[in-house]
C-alpha cells in the first residue's frame, strides 16, 4: 500500500486524519518511522572526496515529531541535514517518527531503533544524528542497538563551532561549552575503566589491590572540572578588553548597533554593505563566531559602532549560550539591534522566534530592534509581503544587490538615541580636540571660525556638555536645556 518512494498514498493520509477508528492506530504505528525525502547528500563521484582530502562521515538522521505540523518537523530535519553537511558529513537518509514525546530509553522506541539499525546496515552509515538533545542514558542505549556512533543535535552544533572558532577567546568559549556538555556523559566499559578493587569479586587483583580508590571516570570528571575552571578564568580575563571598550563607548555616549539573527541569514554581508568591513562571508552555517566591530557615521555627523555577532539557531545549546555570554553581551548592551532574517527561507517566522528566544535569554529582549528582511532578490514576493505585515518595524533589503540599504540607513539614524543637551560655545583653537569630539559624538547644528576660536552650536551628551561648559555662551542663569530626542 505504499508508493514507489516508500511513503503512503494520500487517501490513507485522509483516512488517518479523518478521525476514523478502523485503521488509524495500525496505520499510525506502521507510518511511525517515515522517510524524509530530498535529504540525501551522498556523493556520486569519489573524486570529490579525494579533492576535499578528508573522509566524510556517512550519517543517517533521525527525528521525533511531537508537536506542530509535518512541514515544521521536516523543516527541522532539513536544518539538521544542513548542520551535518556543514560539519563535513554525507547525509545518506533521514527518518522521522510521530510520538507524543521522545522515548525515555532509546529516543525513538526500542522497535523503531531496531528498524533504524536495519537502515544503518543497508546504507553503510557510520553515524546516527538525532534531532534533539539526548540524555546520557538515551545515548548509551541507542548506541547499543544501532551499533554505530550516535550524536545529538547539541554535539553536532558544538562540533561546527569547534571547527570554525578562530580567535583565542572563541576557541576557549567552544572548549568550555564542549566540556559542559561532556561532563554528565562520561562513561566507561567494564573493569578497564575502574581503579577500585576488593577481593575476587571486584577484579581478583589479590593482596595490595583491595581498598578504596578512584575510578577512571571520577578522575576524568575531576580533570574536566579543573579545566573548566581554568577556561572560565581565561575567558573572563580576555573579555576585559571588550568590557573596557563598551565602558568607553558609554562614557562618550557613542551609540552602538548590534547585528543579530539566524545563522546564514546574511549578517556579515549586511555589515560589509553598511561599513565596508570586509568580514568573512560564506554560504555556510556559523561562518562567523568572533564578533566584528566597525565604525559608521550617520548623515548628520554622528558616529556609532556596528557589531556583527554569532548566528543563532533553533534549540541553540544552552552550553553555548553560557560560554558565549561575554560575546553576546555586545547585543544586550547595544542601543539598537538589527535583527536579520532570511526572507527567502521557507520558515522565516520560525527563525525570528528562535532568535528572540535567545535574545531574551541574554537579557537583550528589551533592546529596540529593526527587522532586516534580507535576500529580497531571491525571496517570494508573497512571503515578503506577509513578513512586512507581521513585522511593521522592518526594512526589506538585498545585501547582494544593495536594494533597500539607503532605507535601512535612514531607519538606523531615526532610531539611534540622539544627544540630549544643546550647547552654544566659543571654543579656543588650542582646544580643537573638543570640536573634533563634538563632530564625532554629537550633532553639529552650526559652526563658525572667528578670531577668538570656533563658534559652535551642537547637541551633545552630558559628559561632553560638561567639558564644553567653561566656553559656553549661555547666560549664568540659563542652564542648557535638553533638546527633544528624535
Q: Is the pLDDT of residue 133 over 70?
A: yes
348: pLDDT strictly greater than 50: yes
Q: Identify the CA nearest to 269 among candidates 188, 135, 375, 426.
A: 375
State the pLDDT confidence band at 187, using cuts at 50, 70 and 90. Answer: low
Work out the average pLDDT over 67-80.
Answer: 84
Question: Which of 445, 469, 484, 450 shows the shortest CA–CA distance to 301?
Answer: 445
Q: Residue 239: left if φ>0, alpha if ψ -120 to 50, beta else—which one?
A: alpha
* Gyration radius of the chain's alpha carbons: 29
Task: Please say if the pLDDT value at position 192 is more than 60.
Answer: no
CA distances in angstroms from 222 to 218, 219, 290, listed in the order given: 6, 5, 30
Among 440, 435, 214, 236, CA closest to 323: 236
Residues 6 or more apart in contact with residue 364 via CB below 8 angstroms:
260, 328, 331, 332, 334, 337
The phi, psi pair for 341, rounded to 5°, reads -130, 145
Give the integer Cα–Cα distance in Å for 375 and 194: 56
CA distance linking residue 189 with residue 231, whole number of Å: 29
Residues 6+ positions from 88 with CB-CB distance below 8 Å: 54, 56, 57, 163
pLDDT value, residue 128: 92
pLDDT tens digits for 427-439? 999 888 888 888 8
Task: Tell me the pLDDT band of 397, cut-offs 50, 70 and 90.
Answer: very high
State pLDDT tens for residues 266-277: 888 898 888 876
Give the number of other Cβ atoms within 10 Å of residue 404's Cβ. 19
Per-residue pLDDT tens over the stretch 303-336: 788 888 878 887 777 777 777 776 677 788 888 9
Say how far residue 445 (Cα) sits from the centre of its chain: 41
pLDDT at 277: 60
Of 353-362, 372-381, 440-449, least confident by mean pLDDT is 440-449
At 413, is the secondary structure helix, strand, or coil? Answer: helix
Q: Phi first, then psi: what are they for 422, rounded to 5°?
A: -95, 130
Whether pLDDT at 159 is above 70: yes
DSSP 39-85: -----S-HHHHHHHTS--EEEEEEEEE-SS-HHHHHHHHHHHHHHHH
List residues bridging with 421 in a β-sheet.
Answer: 460, 482
Strands 127-130 and 57-65 come out as: parallel
Question: Residue 55 — pLDDT band, cuts 50, 70, 90?
Answer: very low
Grid cell 563566531 in the structure block, residue: 289
Share of the chain above pLDDT 90, in %: 17
Position 189 confidence tier, pLDDT thresholds 50, 70, 90: very low
State pTM to two decimals.
Answer: 0.68
pLDDT of residue 339: 94
How far apart CA 130 and CA 64 sit, in angstroms, is: 8
Give the pLDDT mean for 92-106.
Answer: 88
- Rounded distance between C-alpha atoms, residue 136 and residue 182, angstroms: 10
C-alpha grid cell for residue 313? 539557531
Q: Is the pLDDT of residue 391 over 60?
A: yes
Amino acid at each position: 500500500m505504499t508508493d514507489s518512494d516508500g511513503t503512503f498514498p494520500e487517501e490513507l493520509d485522509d483516512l488517518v486524519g479523518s478521525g476514523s477508528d478502523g485503521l488509524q492506530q495500525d496505520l499510525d504505528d506502521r507510518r511511525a518511522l517515515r522517510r524524509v525525502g530530498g535529504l540525501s547528500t551522498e556523493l556520486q563521484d569519489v573524486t570529490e572526496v579525494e579533492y576535499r582530502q578528508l573522509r566524510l562521515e556517512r550519517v543517517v538522521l533521525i527525528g521525533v515529531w511531537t508537536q506542530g505540523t509535518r512541514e515544521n518537523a521536516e523543516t527541522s530535519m532539513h536544518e539538521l541535514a544542513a548542520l551535518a553537511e556543514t560539519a563535513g558529513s554525507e547525509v545518506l537518509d533521514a527518518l522521522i517518527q510521530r510520538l507524543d514525546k521522545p522515548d525515555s530509553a532509546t529516543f525513538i522506541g526500542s522497535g523503531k531503533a531496531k528498524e533504524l539499525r536495519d537502515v544503518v546496515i543497508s546504507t553503510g552509515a557510520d553515524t546516527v544524528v538525532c534531532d534533539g538533545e539526548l540524555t546520557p542514558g538515551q545515548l548509551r542505549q541507542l548506541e547499543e542497538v544501532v551499533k554505530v556512533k550516535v550524536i545529538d543535535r547539541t554535539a553536532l552544533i558544538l562540533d561546527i563551532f569547534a571547527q570554525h572558532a578562530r580567535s583565542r577567546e572563541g576557541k576557549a568559549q567552544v572548549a568550555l561549552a564542549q566540556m559542559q556538555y561532556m561532563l554528565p556523559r562520561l562513561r566507561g566499559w567494564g573493569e578497564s575503566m575502574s581503579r577500585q578493587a576488593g577481593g575476587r569479586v571486584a577484579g581478583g587483583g589479590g593482596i595490595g589491590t583491595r581498598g578504596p580508590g578512584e575510578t577512571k571516570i571520577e578522575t576524568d570528571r575531576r580533570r574536566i572540572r579543573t579545566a573548566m575552571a581554568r577556561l572560565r578564568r581565561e575567558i573572563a580575563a580576555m573579555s576585559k578588553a571588550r568590557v573596557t571598550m563598551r565602558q568607553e563607548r558609554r562614557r562618550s555616549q557613542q551609540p552602538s548597533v548590534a547585528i543579530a539573527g539566524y545563522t546564514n541569514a546574511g549578517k556579515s554581508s549586511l555589515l560589509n554593505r553598511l561599513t565596508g568591513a570586509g568580514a568573512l562571508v560564506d554560504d555556510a552555517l556559523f561562518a562567523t563566531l568572533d564578533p566584528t566591530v566597525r565604525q559608521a557615521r550617520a548623515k548628520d555627523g554622528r558616529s556609532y559602532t556596528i557589531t556583527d555577532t554569532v548566528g543563532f539557531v533553533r534549540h541553540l545549546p544552552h552550553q553555548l549560550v553560557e560560554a558565549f555570554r561575554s560575546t553576546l553581551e555586545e547585543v544586550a548592551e547595544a542601543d539598537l539591534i538589527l535583527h536579520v532574517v532570511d526572507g527567502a527561507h521557507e520558515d522565516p517566522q520560525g527563525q525570528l522566534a528562535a532568535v528572540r528566544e535567545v535574545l531574551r535569554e541574554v537579557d537583550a529582549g528589551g533592546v529596540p530592534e529593526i527587522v532586516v528582511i534580507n535576500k529580497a532578490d531571491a525571496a517570494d514576493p508573497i512571503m515578503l509581503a506577509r513578513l512586512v505585515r507581521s513585522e511593521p518595524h522592518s526594512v526589506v533589503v538585498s545585501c547582494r544587490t544593495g536594494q533597500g540599504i539607503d532605507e535601512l540607513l535612514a531607519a538606523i539614524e531615526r532610531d539611534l538615541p540622539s544627544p540630549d543637551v544643546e550647547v552654544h560655545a566659543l571654543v579656543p583653537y588650542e582646544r580643537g580636540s573638543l570640536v573634533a569630539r563634538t563632530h564625532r559624538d554629537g550633532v553639529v547644528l552650526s559652526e563658525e571660525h572667528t578670531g577668538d576660536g570656533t563658534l559652535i552650536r551642537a547637541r551633545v551628551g552630558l559628559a561632553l556638555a560638561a567639558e564644553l561648559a567653561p566656553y559656553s555662551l549661555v547666560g549664568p542663569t540659563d542652564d542648557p536645556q535638553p533638546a527633544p530626542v528624535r
